[in-house]
Every structure is written in C-alpha cells, then in structure tokens.
Structure 1
Amino acid sequence: MVPRPNILLFFTDDQRFDTIRALGNEQVITPHLDALVARGTTFTHNFIPGGTCGAVCMPSRAMLHSGRTLFHLDREGQGIPDAHITLGECLRQAGYETYATGKWHNGTAAFARSFGAGDEIFFGGMDDHWNVPAYHYDPSGRYDHACPYTPDPFQSNALKYRRCDHVSPGKHSTDLFADSALRFLTDHDTSRPFFLYVSLMAPHDPRTMPKQYRELYNPDDIALPANFLPEHPIDTGALRIRDETLAAFPRDPAEIRRHIAEYYAMISHLDDAFGRVMAALRARGDLDNTIVVFAGDNGLALGQHGLMGKQSVYEHSVRVPLIFAGPGIAAGERRDGFSYLLDVYPTLVELAGVSVPASVEGRSLLPMLRDPQASLRDSLYLAYADSIRGLRTCTHKIIEYACGETQLFDLQADPLERENLAAQPEHAALLAELRAQLRGQADAWDDVAHPAGRAFWTRRQNDLGPKTY
C-alpha cells in the first residue's frame, strides 16, 4: 500500500497574488517561493469570493477550513459548526497527525476539533508582530486563559486582558510560528503522515519586520501602481474603515511607496521562513512525500484605485496566490482557469486518498492539476459585505455598488481595471447580460439568505430589477 503523503499548508495574511518574483513581480525578493513555483503548479487565477465583513480574512479562513461557500458559513466565519467537518478534522479522522501554529480566526471549538497538537496559537485577527498573545496547545480545547496588560502605561494603570497564556517579547510572529513548525518536524513520529498548518500573521499590518528585510527595499525605487489614484471615485461602503485610514487622504505617492516597500519587506521575511521549513523537510527526507501548498487569505490595495485595504472586489483584493507541489504534481506549470481558495480542502483530501465530507462545497482541483486544459468554472461570484457585488468572467468584470454606481471592465484590454465602460452605449448589451448573470449567481450562492446579501439586494432592486425575497 502506498503511504499517504504528508501535507504542509503554509498560509499568509493579506498577501496579494502578484507578490512573488517568479510570477512576474521583479520588485519583490522571494527566492524560496520562486523555487516552489519551479517545482510545482501555480493557479494564476485563484480567488476568494470576497467577505461579509471588514475583517475579510475571517470568512476567507472559514471557507478554507470548511470548504463552504461564503453565504453558507456560520455568520461571518466566527466559528465553524460541528456539522461542517473541517479540513484538519477530516485528515485527523483518517489517521493524520494534525499540528497547527499561528493565526486561527474561526473559534476555539473548531480549532480543537481540527488539531491534535500545536503551539504558538494566536486566536484573533491582528496584533503586534513582536509581542504575539499566544497559547500553547491545550488538550482540553478551552483556551480560556487571559493575560493582563496595561494598554497605555504612561497615562494610566488601567488593566485590560487579552486571550493568551504567554507572550514571547521581541520575537517576530513570522519567526515564532516558523520555529514552532520546525520543532514539530524535529519531533514528529514518522509512522504517521502529518498535516502541518503554518498560518502567518504577515504581511498584515502593522508592517514591521527585522531590520535586514526592511533594508532590502528603498521606497524611492518602488514603482507606483499604474492604477494608483489619490482617492476612490465611488462610495464602496468602506472608504473610512480602519484599513483605509492607514494612509492620508488624498493618497500621497511617497507614502504609498513606503507602504509597498514595507509590504515587500514582510514578504521577503516570510519567504525566508518558508525556506527554513522547506529545508527542514528536505533534511528529514520528507520533501518528496509531502504535498506543499502555499496560499494567502486575501489581497490588499496599497494605493491601487485610491484604496489601502481589501474591502473591494478588484483583482488586487480578491485574487490570491495558490501553489501546489509534491508527489504527482507537475513541476514548473501554471493553470489559468478559475479556482477559489475553498477548493484547496477537497483537493488536499483527494490527494491524500480520503473521502471528501458531504458538507464540503468546494471543487477538487485534481482535474486541473492533471489536465492543463481542464476548467471548473466559467465565472466567479464576488461580494463585499452589504455594499458591493461583482461577477468576473474570463474577459470582463461587472461591479455593482449599493450606492447605485456600476463599473464594467474589459480585463483583456484593461487588467488593472482603470477604464469603466458601463456608461458607453456600445457595451449596453454586454452590461445587461452580465447583470442577468450576476442576479442568477446571487440566487445560486444563496446570497439573500445572509443578512449582508439581503441588505445589498434590497438597496439595489430599483436599479437591477425586482427580486423576490
């Protein structure tokens, strides 16, 4: 009997699809991710459906671990119900040793079901990279300890409490989690296959990193995005949330270059951490029997379209990296067909020779891995909270805003989504066709069953036609 492969899922936070040098970005330094591209298959058009709240990473991660679609999650992904078998839970039941380190944004109960071991576990969305409030693995699954701290010791002695049982002061989150993964690989009993989940907080802000990585990038040498705007021309419903206030209004080119330089520096740092984990696999003799997946939870604007965050359905916010490498996976190949992040779950389970649970709604990417011409989808449904809905085809994208505005982009001629064609008479027939498809996909995704979808479609029904709720 052929032994089941090990699985390493290396997952980053806020990393956009175009931040790997081997995939065309010559400004960023990513030698270890470049090596992974060379030895694996890259899904160049991998997306998230969007998010139902400002913390887009929460529903995104819930989709990754449950295989569920956006509007079939528990609320915005705060938890994963018992009926939705998680990826770790599925592999654990199949005999895998499951170990997690890093960020988990979907509730302690789902984590406890998923992993039989772990360390340096962060339950939350973001925090100080140099002082991560973390937990050691708790076999009881409670994770109920809290540590006191003084948020402003220079002005007040008031105490607050944060969820953790320890802090490792002065150690960056990327190194904290990578070192945890390395300890697991050192101690792992080779009699069982493993599922190792390494979930970073980087390159999410606050964008701080060890000095040597910051010194790799001079902001003056960073090219401003070609679709840079001083301000976004349409009310997205999220123009003044926290992410957008990280830079001044209107956007200043020098400030945007600094943000991008820091973003790239964090990515170079996590690239080195990824390289250390890969080196440990190689040294153990496990690399050839390990499926390695590198992916991100959502993208980031950083000045594109006048935005800073990920609360939109532009390519920079919903398109994310996805690379598979390992036994049976072609080296140095790319797949341009559409995939969603939630497809990772059934793909890994099938690669492991395990049955996909009935609760999973993602589609296995095995047909695309085996056949470069295979396709799973003709279009993608996209959403942000109660203010934006979109539909992307291979050639065009329509974006509808709750404020009443519409955008139409020809992605073949305009991949950076700069020229809005919606008001041009020659595109009226295409616009009507895409609007009809958008409404059909809203029904197929059960959008209006979610409070965010109901709110959006109620506001837009006068513009897009009546809808029965």
Structure 2
Amino acid sequence: MSEQKSGNKKPNILFIIADDHRSDSIGVYGNPHVRTPNLDRLAAEGVLFQSVYTMGGQTAALCVPCRASLLTGANAFRSTVSNKEVTLAETEDRSLWELNPALAILPEVLRQEGYRTFGTGKWHNGKAAFARSFSDGANIFFGGMGDHVGLPVHGYDLDGIYPQEAAQMSSVFSSELFAETASDFIQSYESDEPFFLYVAFTAPHDPRTPPPGYSELYSPEGLPLPGNFMTEHPFDNGELQVRDEQLAVTPRQPEEIRRHLADYYSMITHMDEQIGRILHTLEASGRADDTIVVYTADHGLALGQHGLLGKQNLYEHSVHIPLVMRGPGLPQAAGIEALGCQIDIFPTLCDLTGISCPQTAEGRSLAPLLLGQAAAVRENVFAAYKSLQRMVRDDRWKLIRYYRSGGGGSERTQLFDLQADPWEVSDLSGESAHEPHLRRLEAQLLQWQRNVGDPLLIETAH
C-alpha cells in the first residue's frame, strides 16, 4: 500500500450502476420516504451531483443506449449502431442496436493503461464489447431484464464468446449475487496494479419482487403520491402503449401506484444494503482511501408521475439521474448544482486518473467542478427519445418537443420553469411572456440536433 500512498499508483475505481434508479428516490436527494443510508453516507463522504442527465436513445429499451453513452462518452446517436438497416419508426426492438464498435470504451481504455478490469452484473451492450473491456469477471448477465432469482449468468470466458448454453441459473437474489461477487474480488485482490471494478445491478428494475423481509418495509398506504401524479398523461406523447406503460391499469389508480412505489423503494433499500456490503469490504481491505467510488444509474422511471409508468419520456423523473463520487483528492459533503451529462463521466474519470481521454469520447470532464476550478462546464443538456421526443434544459428552463404525437405528424411543445415548477405540471409554452425562453431553447435544440447528426432532422426533411 505504500506505493499507493506515494502517489505513484493510479487510484482504483469502484463503479456501481443501478437499473431504473431515478435521482429522487435516494434519501440524500431529498426524499424522506426511502431508506438509503449507505448511498447517503457515500454522498456525505464525497460529492453529490444534483443536475446530471441521461441523453436517451433510439430504442424503448433505454438501458442499451444510456449505458452505451456512459461507457463510450458519445452522444445517443453515435454510441449505438444498428446491425441492420432500420427506420426510426422500427427501433422498438433492442436487438437491432449494439454498442458502436468504432468507439473506445471506458474500461477498455483503463485496461490499456494498466488497470485490472473486472465486471459483474448486467451488461446489455454486447459480448464483444465486454470482451474488449474486461480482463476478468464473474456472474455476468448478458440481457436486459429477468427474474432476480434465476438469472442466466456467465463466468469469465477467456475467448470472449459466452455461448448461451454456458450460462448458469443463479440461485441468489441478483443484488446479493453481484455484491458478493464484488466483495470477493476486493478481498482476494493482491495485484500491485490498480483495479476497475464494474458492478451493474439489475435492481430496482421490474419485476419488483423484493426478497422476504424487505417487501414489508414500506406500507403503500403510508406513501404519498408524487406532486405530479396524474391518472392519465394529458396528451398522446407517441409512446403510451409501450411495454412499460402496460404494467399498471389506465387510468392510473392511486392505490396501485402506491403499491408500485412501495415495491420500488423496497428494492432500492435492499440494493442499498448490498452497496453497503461492498463499501464495508473495500474499507476492511485498506483500499478505500485509494479508490474512487462512483454511483449512478442508467436512467430514471415515472411510476405514476405525469400519468406514466416507464422511462420512455423526457420528464425529470426519467432523464435526471443520480451521480455520487467519493475518492482521494475529492471534496467531502459537497453538492454540485452545475449541469452535467451522463457522457461526462468517462472524461471525468480519465482526468481523475491522469489518463488521456480518447477523441471518440465527446463528453466534458466534470473534474473542474469537483476541484473547484469552474462553476459550470455546460450551458445546456439535451436528450432524445426515438423519433418522438427531444429535450433541452438550461439552469432554469426546460423545453420538450413532441413529434407525431397523436399521429398525423402533429407536433407539441412544452416549456417548464423548473425553478418555480420542479414537478413540471405548468406548461408555459402558450404564454407570450415566456416566448423569448421558448425561442431561445428551440434554437439551441435545433443547433444541437445539427451538431450531433440527429437522424430525425434527416427523416423529417424527407
């Protein structure tokens, strides 16, 4: 450990990512109803980013493009590629999309720089990309979702093939399985090389079936409905019939939504305990002071907000993600309000480890915010959902544009003042007093679409 203390060795990285964990479902983000003591402690010992956003994607299975953007630092239109020619209207099938092989991948870059890279949990970005990225792994799940007990998981394959018949059905709840695997790796690690440990939980994604003893933690009757609960979305957003929206009856019933929230919070609390287990193992190993810990999620989820249930939308509950970092040289108990994007995590870790960020990554490093060298690195953040929705927000105002909503090529725009209306319930787009904000954001959104080569511009042009 003396080499670590001397500063000659790069810090280890423990990277934890959850599935469907929206930022407002963590205690430290201001939710008094969910119990997340370990994530709260991690934030108290590190940095809490208050305004980080996912960029969406071109398929309803948003974990694919969101994770691809995180892993490559590339925008939602570059991070994945289709394995056949498809129109934007045909992007529902997640099997059509894979991580763009032309892009560098975060663990791959770290591996090339001398890191021992180990992966466990969900990897929904292709077996070839996993083989490029990791020098070891265990209990790897190549899929989008499944029962939390009985997941088909793989051991590490030196050939990188991972044939389907080689998978073993897990007998332990997913969060416990992946936490145990991560803890075993930390306990047995003896190399002088720094490690990158990637732990990808499948929780709290449905099926929301918390293990015995946890489903009773939250009483549905005791949980308040969100401030933007609606029985139905006020208009057709173009994606009201997607699979996620069918998980509860429409019009939404308050009792059913409260039950969903109780199960969701139970899954989160159970996962939080498993995260605590990993952190405890890290501390017991003596490596905590030399390890950057990152906690984030691929995207959020509606669960009754705006009359929606899934993540196939661009409201705050679906695109605003948690991000917590703790590690050597980083401030403690710090909160950062400045805007950030999921693609910024890649260059940030490159900066914090002294590694040159590859040119294929287009995110902006958040390190200047962490180190007090800048008050902001972005003026805006943007997001996209299939050919149906686009979003831009600045430090106060947010615009969502809907294409083809309700059929017939119709369009609709929403404008929200997030400072006065964080629940996004008062659409100001029709008020003349706010037209300057509307026009400004429309121009910024169009410029971004041009800069990133948004396929929607090409399709609508024809």
Paired residues for 1:47-62 under 5 Å: 47-62=53-68
| Residues 1:271 and 2:290 aligned together | no
Task: Work out whether residues 234 and 405 of structure 1, in 8 Å CA contact, stay in contact via their aligned partners in 2.
Answer: no
SS state at 1:408 partner: strand
Provide the aligned length of Structure 1 versus Structure 2.
437
Q: Corresponding residue for 1:120?
A: 139
Q: Distance between the aligned counterparts of 2:64 and 2:100, measured in 1?
A: 14
- Indicate the residue corresponding to 2:87 in structure 1: none
RMSD of aligned Cα (Å): 1.4
C-alpha displacement of 1:438: 1.6
In structure 1, give the amino acid aligned to 2:116: E
Q: Secondary structure at the match of 2:270?
A: helix
TM-aligned CA deviation for residue 395 of structure 1: 1.4
Residue 453 of structure 1 deviates from its aligned partner by: 5.5
- Which amino acid in structure 2 is aligned with residue 447 of structure 1? D
Aligned to 2:393, what secondary structure does the other structure show? strand
Moved more, 181-190 or 283-292: 181-190
State yes or no: 1:222 paired with 2:228. Answer: no
TM-score by length of 2: 0.92
Please list the CA deviations of residues 292-345 of structure 1 after superposition, one character each: whole Å capped at 9, or x if unmatched. Answer: 000000000000000000011100000000001010110000110111111111
Q: Deviations over 1:353-376 (max 9, x none)?
A: 211112111111110101175211
Q: Distance in 2 between matches of 1:284 and 1:11?
A: 22
Q: Residue 312 of structure 1 aligns with which residue?
A: 313
- Alignment correspondent of 1:153: none
Q: Secondary structure at the match of 2:122?
A: strand
* TM-score normalized with structure 1 length: 0.91
Partner of 1:333 in structure 2? 334
Q: 1:11 aligns with which of 17, 28, 42?
A: 17
Q: Which runs of 4+ in 1 moved over 4 A?
A: none
Give structure 2 stretches of 5+ with no counterpart: 1-6, 83-93, 406-410
* Alpha-carbon distance in structure 2 between the residues aligned to 1:453 and 1:194: 42
**1:87 paired to 2:106:** yes
Report the secondary structure of 1:398's partner residue: strand
Contact kept in structure 2, 1:101 and 1:198, CA below 8 Å: yes
CA apart distance, 1:191: 1.2
After superposition, what is the alpha-carbon deviation per residue over 1:82-120, rounded to whole angstroms, capped at 9, x for unaligned? Answer: 431111111111111100000001110000000000011
Between the aligned partners of 2:303 and 2:164, the Cα distance in structure 1 is 36
Mapped partners of 1:426, 1:331: distance in 2: 42
Partner of 2:76: 70
Corresponding letter in the other structure for 1:424: E
Secondary structure in 1 matching 2:24 = coil
**Structure 2 residue 458 is matched with structure 1 residue 439:** no
CA distance in 1, matches of 2:289, 2:174: 28
Report the Cα offset of residue 454 of structure 1: 3.8
CA offset at residue 425 of structure 1? Answer: 2.5
Q: Could you tell me which residue of structure 2 aligns to residue 200 of structure 1?
A: 201
**Is the Cα–Cα contact under 8 Å of residues 335 and 372 in structure 1 kept in the other structure?**
no
* SS of equivalent to 1:121: strand
Which has the larger displacement, 438-447 or 116-125? 438-447
Q: 1:168 aligns with which of 167, 170, 183?
A: 170
1:123 & 1:186 partners in 2: Cα distance?
A: 25
Contact between 1:79 and 1:110, CA under 8 Å: does it hold in 2? no
Aligned to 2:302: 301
Work out whether residues 244 and 309 of structure 1, in 8 Å CA contact, stay in contact via their aligned partners in 2.
yes
**Contact 1:386-1:453 at 8 Å conserved across structures:** no
Q: Which amino acid aligns with 1:91?
A: L
Match of residue 101, structure 1, among 99, 120, 136: 120
More displaced, 305-314 or 355-364?
A: 355-364
SS at match of 2:125: coil
1:46 paired to 2:55: no
- Asked if residue 408 in structure 1 is aligned to residue 415 in structure 2, the reply is yes
CA contact (8 A) 1:385 1:453 kept: no
Residue in 2 that maps onto 1:160 = none
